[in-house]
């Protein structure tokens, strides 16, 4: 017998035992009894769910070929709100913009990247090892000890010595947690939050150390205008050479505004199958701000700033 | 082209030299550029109205050219060379009866008279960040910059400024307070000028009072304030900083009345509507946003593809037309049906909107009829 309930949170299906009309599991004051009631409620629900599933499967089998296609489950990536800044591949304005922006020198093969990696002052062992491993991953990277120098003074010296990138790994409590990536002649400065850093010895089933060859770069899912700028920022770290030597690949995968960095060695077993071995450090990045011009946090102009409370409003809207 | 430019209510200049007209009713930005000759040195530095009736837009670029764009015809009508790129970027442009006033970063303020090639030149100091014209007394301009205080010049007496401001007293450590005037505005119906600085201060100067120091000083945020605008009602000012924070400050006491949310990049241009409580902002995050000042909510947001490096300007009539359309449900259709009931002054703009509505709304009328009525 279906008993009508008006409570919001309630068992709504045919129950073995009847309830008085206004009843809710949370109204039982005795914790043990409440717990038992709740468990019974959950078991009921589970039984119904299994029964529904069985029924659906039966119907599906009965229909055979004429069955409607399986519904795709909704994920946050599926439900992503359409971003109006998504770049259309044929957009001329964007193409012109990218043809003349700060990275155009790199993309027109005029300069080769040269990266300076440093940390915040007095780094601890983990950060130092991370920097050294990053230097093996990025070709033509040099690690320097910070010595408490101000970044604004370091930048003109770097430009004078021909560096194209400055990467500063910030450390907090013996663990790297931030990164400032500054494109040197007068390029944008990106500030990231670094999390989930795994060094080489912590990685399972890893291959041997990376060699001196330049890796291939894969940039996944950078669709919006901001994403495009980030993609170019990462691509300009590595030499622009389509003739790949050495089967190494660095991947920057963007998902839900987090950028995952992985470094693999691949081998093609045949046309369809590839074997990969992860080497090298892995870490995740989240963009906190993108500033026009070289590092100047006080007086610089920001092209994009992460404002957490404004981003938290909609779970399905992403910026990169 | 002409019809597109007539619909546009807000004009934005971009980094690549394209003048964009934004139509808020259609939520779209239209590009107007000259013969597709895009380059970075055509980057728009300043925008200004060419005449009182707001039918011409003056576009100043980095390479020193000032182009005139006619909103009625939809094309660039004139180009003049006002200085070279070596003299610095334009920081202000204004028009008095038949003369064009330009100011560059190196401090050279010039008045270009129509027809004659000689110019009246004023040296406004070095590092000028902004030059603005007094809307009520068209021959007065104000300039200010980095370590260059606010100066008000009268173009008829170009030797000395009629008002030079003095820096604030030394701070509590007896150190000189650095000055960096980023933007200024003349408060209508009085002599006062309000400025915003790169050291996150908002100051009000009164030339009529005996003190040359600021009459009022207010602070907002921790980042340089880049743009300023005065809304229609008195006693408040809207400022924006490099982090994309927009705030409405009260000028009577100097307190923050409220912040406008939504901007993610530095604010480059800010303009309040002359009569309605609306403010349009453009910035480095490639969006044009229109906020309402009363409830601080976002009314319109339009994506402009390139970095908006300069100023937005709006036409008053078109904005009223658009705002009313947006408030009504299915605005275009209503106008077609309600033309008999609409008795008000915006008859002229209604006529043009009506034509459009007829053309575009024909397919929609049949469907919308059920929805609207």
Convert the pLDDT of each residue in A231-290 to its tens digit: 999 999 999 888 888 889 999 999 999 999 999 999 999 989 999 999 989 999 999 999
Give the 3-state secondary structure of residue B334. helix
Dihedral pair phi/psi, residue B278, rounded to 5°: -130, 150
Q: Is B240 on the interface with A (CB under 8 A)?
A: no
Q: Cβ of A310 and B262 within 8 Å?
A: yes
Over its C-alpha atoms, chain A yields an Rg (Å, rounded) of 27
Q: Is B13 on the interface with A (CB under 8 A)?
A: no
Spatial distance between the Cα atoms of B304 and B22, rounded to a whole number of angstroms = 8
**DSSP secondary structure letter of residue A190:** E
Spatial distance between the Cα atoms of B304 and B306, rounded to a whole number of angstroms = 6
Dihedral pair phi/psi, residue A51, rounded to 5°: -60, -45
Beta sheet of B193-197, edge-to-edge order: B181-186, B193-197, B201-205, B216-219
Looking at residue B14, its pLDDT comes to 81
Angle between helices B316-327 and B347-372 (to 10 degrees): 10
Spatial distance between the Cα atoms of B167 and B151, rounded to a whole number of angstroms = 12
Q: Is B245 on the interface with A (CB under 8 A)?
A: no
User: pLDDT over 90 for what percent of chain A?
Assistant: 52
> Contacts of residue B261 in chain A, CB cutoff 8 Å?
310
User: H/E element holding B69?
Assistant: strand B65-70
Looking at residue B352, its pLDDT comes to 42
Tally the C-alpha atoms within 13 A of residue B19's C-alpha that lie toward its C-beta: 31
Q: Is A302 on the interface with B (CB under 8 A)?
A: yes
pTM of the model: 0.79
Looking at residue B70, its pLDDT comes to 84
Which is higher by pLDDT, A180 or B77?
A180
Going by DSSP bridges, is the β-strand pair B56-61/B44-49 parallel, antiparallel, or unpaired? antiparallel
> Contacts of residue B307 in chain A, CB cutoff 8 Å?
97, 303
Looking at residue B124, its pLDDT comes to 83
Q: Which chain B residue's Cα is nearest to A303?
A: B265
SS3 labels along B221-268: CCCCEEEEECCCCCCEEEEEECCCCEEEEECCCCCEEEEECCCCCCEE
Q: Is A12 on the interface with B (CB under 8 A)?
A: no
Does this complex have an ipTM over 0.85? no
Residues A94-99: what's their mean pLDDT?
80
Tally the C-alpha atoms within 13 A of residue B66's C-alpha that lie toward its C-beta: 26
First to last CA, chain A: 53
Any idea what the Cα angle at residue B134 is, between residues B132 and B139, rounded to 5°?
100
Spatial distance between the Cα atoms of A114 and A144, rounded to a whole number of angstroms = 13
Looking at residue A150, its pLDDT comes to 92
Spatial distance between the Cα atoms of A133 and A1, rounded to a whole number of angstroms = 68
The pLDDT profile of chain B, 373 residues, written as one tens digit per residue, is 667 777 777 888 888 778 888 887 777 878 877 655 667 777 888 888 877 777 788 888 888 888 888 888 878 888 888 777 777 788 888 888 778 888 888 888 888 887 777 778 888 888 888 888 888 888 889 999 999 889 999 888 878 889 999 999 999 999 999 999 999 999 988 889 999 999 999 999 999 999 999 999 999 989 999 999 998 877 899 999 999 899 999 999 889 999 998 888 888 888 888 888 888 888 888 888 889 988 888 888 888 776 655 566 655 444 443 333 333 333 333 334 444 444 444 434 444 444 444 444 444 444 444 444 4
Dihedral pair phi/psi, residue B125, rounded to 5°: 90, -175
Give the 3-state secondary structure of residue A284. strand
Looking up tokens 């043009």, which residue turns up?
B352
Q: Cβ of B244 and A292 within 8 Å?
A: no
Rounded to the nearest angstrom, the minimum Cα separation between B142 and chain A is 24
Rounded to the nearest angstrom, the minimum Cα separation between A170 and chain B is 22
Q: Is B261 on the interface with A (CB under 8 A)?
A: yes
Give every CB contact of residue A125 below 8 A, 6+ residues apart in sequence.
A174
Q: Cβ of A303 and B40 within 8 Å?
A: no
Tokens encoding B15 = 């980094």
Q: Which chain A residue's Cα is nearest to B224?
A: A299
Q: Looking at the predicted structure, is the pLDDT value of residue A3 above 60?
A: no
Looking at residue B373, its pLDDT comes to 46
Looking at residue A191, its pLDDT comes to 95
Q: Looking at the predicted structure, is the pLDDT value of residue A61 above 80?
A: yes
Looking at residue B259, its pLDDT comes to 92
Give the 3-state secondary structure of residue A11. coil
Tokens encoding B90 = 């334009």
Give the 3-state secondary structure of residue A101. coil
Which residue in B271, B280, B184, B187 sits closest to B234, CA to CA? B187
- As a whole number, the mean pLDDT across chain A is 87
Tally the C-alpha atoms within 13 A of residue A129's C-alpha that lie toward its C-beta: 14
């Amino acid at each position: 017998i279906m008993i009508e309930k008006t409570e919001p949170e309630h068992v709504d299906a045919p129950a073995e035992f009847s309830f008085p009309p206004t009843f809710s599991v949370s109204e039982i004051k005795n914790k043990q009894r409440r717990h038992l009631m709740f468990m019974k409620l959950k078991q009921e629900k589970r039984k119904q769910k299994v029964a529904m599933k069985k029924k659906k499967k039966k119907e599906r089998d009965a229909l055979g070929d004429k069955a409607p296609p399986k519904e795709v489950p909704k994920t946050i990536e599926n439900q992503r709100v359409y971003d109006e800044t998504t770049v259309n591949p044929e957009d001329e304005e964007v193409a012109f913009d990218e043809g003349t922006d700060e990275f155009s020198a790199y993309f027109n093969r005029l300069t080769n990247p040269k990266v300076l990696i440093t940390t915040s002052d007095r780094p601890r062992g983990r950060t130092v090892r991370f920097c050294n491993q990053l230097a093996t991953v990025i070709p033509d990277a040099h690690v320097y000890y910070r010595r408490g120098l101000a970044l604004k003074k370091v930048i003109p010296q770097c430009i004078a010595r021909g560096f194209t990138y400055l990467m500063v790994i910030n450390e907090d409590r013996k663990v790297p947690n931030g990164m400032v990536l500054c494109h040197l002649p007068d390029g944008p400065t990106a500030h990231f939050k670094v999390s989930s850093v795994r060094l080489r010895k912590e990685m399972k089933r890893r291959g041997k150390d990376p060699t001196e060859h330049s890796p291939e770069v894969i940039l996944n899912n950078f669709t919006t205008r901001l994403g495009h700028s980030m993609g170019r920022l990462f691509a300009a770290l590595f030499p622009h050479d389509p003739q790949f030597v050495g089967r190494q690949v660095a991947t920057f995968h963007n998902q839900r505004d987090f950028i995952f960095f992985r470094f693999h060695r691949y081998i093609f077993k045949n046309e369809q199958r590839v074997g990969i071995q992860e080497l090298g450090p892995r870490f995740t990045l989240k963009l906190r701000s993108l500033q026009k011009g070289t590092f100047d946090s006080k007086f610089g102009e920001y092209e994009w700033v992460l404002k957490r409370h404004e981003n938290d409003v909609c779970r399905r809207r992403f910026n990169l | 082209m002409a019809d597109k430019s007539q619909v546009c209510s807000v004009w934005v200049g971009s980094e690549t030299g394209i003048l964009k007209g934004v139509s808020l009713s259609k939520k779209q930005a239209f590009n107007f550029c000259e013969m597709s000759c895009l380059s970075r040195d055509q980057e728009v530095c300043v925008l200004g109205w060419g005449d009182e009736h707001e039918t011409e837009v003056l576009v100043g670029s980095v390479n020193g050219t000032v182009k005139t764009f006619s909103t009625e015809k939809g094309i660039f009508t004139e180009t003049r060379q006002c200085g070279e790129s070596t003299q610095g970027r334009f920081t202000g442009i204004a028009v008095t009866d038949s003369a064009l006033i330009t100011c560059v970063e190196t401090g050279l303020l010039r008045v270009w008279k129509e027809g004659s090639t000689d110019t009246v030149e004023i040296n406004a100091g070095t590092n000028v960040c902004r030059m603005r014209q007094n809307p009520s007394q068209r021959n007065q301009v104000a300039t200010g910059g980095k370590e260059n205080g606010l100066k008000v010049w009268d173009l008829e007496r170009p030797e000395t400024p009629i008002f030079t401001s003095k820096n604030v007293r030394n701070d509590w450590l007896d150190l000189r307070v650095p000055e960096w005037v980023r933007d200024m505005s003349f408060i209508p119906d009085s002599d006062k000028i309000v400025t915003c600085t790169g050291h996150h201060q908002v100051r009000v100067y009164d030339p009529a009072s005996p003190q040359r120091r600021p009459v009022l000083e207010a602070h907002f945020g921790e980042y340089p304030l880049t743009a300023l605008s005065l809304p229609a009602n008195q006693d408040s000012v809207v400022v924006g900083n490099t982090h994309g924070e927009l705030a409405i400050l009260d000028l009577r006491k100097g307190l923050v009345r409220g912040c406008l949310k939504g901007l993610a990049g530095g604010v480059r241009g800010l303009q309040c509507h002359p009569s309605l409580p609306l403010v349009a902002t453009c910035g480095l995050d490639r969006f044009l946003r229109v906020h309402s000042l009363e409830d601080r909510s976002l009314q319109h947001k339009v994506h402009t593809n390139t970095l908006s490096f300069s100023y937005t300007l709006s036409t008053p009539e078109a904005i009223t037309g658009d705002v009313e359309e947006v408030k009504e449900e299915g605005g275009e259709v209503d106008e077609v049906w309600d033309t008999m009931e609409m008795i008000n002054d915006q008859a002229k703009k209604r006529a043009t909107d009506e034509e459009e509505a007829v053309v575009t709304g024909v397919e929609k009328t049949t469907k919308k009829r059920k929805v609207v009525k």
